[in-house]
Structure formats: C-alpha cells, structure tokens
Amino acid sequence: MQLNKNLLLLISLIQSYRKYSIGEGMLRQSLGQQETDWYRKTKDYYYSLDRAIFESAGIRQNEWYLCALLHFDITKEISRTDYSGLDTFHFPDESTMEETVVSSFFYYMWNAWSEQECKRVYEGECRHFWDKWCCQTESAAYGAAENFMQT
C-alpha cells in the first residue's frame, strides 16, 4: 500500500512510544527497580488508540500491523519528502504477509540460528533438529534454511 501522511504520523508515534518505553525500562533498571516490558507497554498503548486513527491511515488495528509499524524504516528520503509525495513510498500490508513471514524465517535462520537457539526452541528434541540442520548445511549452495523448512 502507498504511504500517506496519517500512516507516517502513526508509524512515528508508535516508534517514539517504543523508544520511550525502552528508555524508561533502562532507567528503572539502573535505579534497581523492576524493568518494564517495553513490548507489552507499547502494545497496550497501540490498542488504547482510537480505531479512527488506523482507519485514517488506511490500516487495521491488529497484531500484524503493530509489528509492521514497529519495524518500518523511516528513511531520510521519506523524512525529507513533502506529505503530498509520500504515495511514492510503500508500506507493507497484510497481502504481503505470507512473503514477509517466509523471508523473516530465512533472515532469522541465516542470522540467528545456532545450537543454543536450537536448544531453546526444541528443548528435548534439540539433538535431532541440530543434526538435521548440520546435515543440510553441508551440501546447501544457498544456505540450509530452504532445505530445513522443506524437510
């Protein structure tokens, strides 16, 4: 979908609230207090907003869009563009979700997968899946994630 003024303002608002929540949590921790859960706090704030805000931005108020708003990169180019020119930029919508989920899986597997992560995810079955992963990486030209997901 095309980026618009209200959507850009909503992205900025949610990302600013996330930064505030993280900063507050870090300050609390440095004072010896219990750190706040920035994601829960941001999610609560997100759902406290009026639905009309989301409608004016052209999106729905749901978990998928919360993640998309939190992770959207407001580039310098977008920041410098007049509101009337925002339609040249694109914001992901739910129709791209399947592609996003798959590419996120590959990105995660490429950048974060390790034996320790495998233990956290698979616990008692870790050895089986780690051996499977190692076997797939030996002969994969592009990486093991594609083969691992298919088997």
Window from 26-30, 41-45, 64-68, 89-93 with minimum mean pLDDT: 89-93
Q: Of residues 119 and 145, which shows the higher confidence score?
A: 119
| The token pair that represents 37 in the structure block | 């859960």
Asked if residues 29 and 44 have their Cβ atoms less than 8 Å apart, the reply is no
CA angle 117, 99, 133 (to 5 degrees): 30
Whole-number pLDDT of residue 141: 47
Alpha-carbon gap, residue 97 to 1, rounded angstroms: 12
pTM score, whole prediction: 0.61
Whole-number pLDDT of residue 134: 79
Q: What tens digit of pLDDT does each residue of 85-143 get? A: 888 888 877 666 555 666 666 666 666 678 888 887 788 888 888 888 777 766 554 55
Domain spans, the chain: 5-92, 100-150
Asked if residues 57 and 4 have their Cβ atoms less than 8 Å apart, the reply is yes
At residue 93, what are phi and psi to the nearest 5 degrees? -125, 180
Alpha-carbon gap, residue 114 to 118, rounded angstroms: 6
Whole-number pLDDT of residue 127: 87
Q: What tens digit of pLDDT does each residue of 35-58 get? A: 788 889 999 999 999 999 999 999
Whole-number pLDDT of residue 103: 64
Alpha-carbon gap, residue 22 to 37, rounded angstroms: 8
Interval 22-29 mean pLDDT: 91
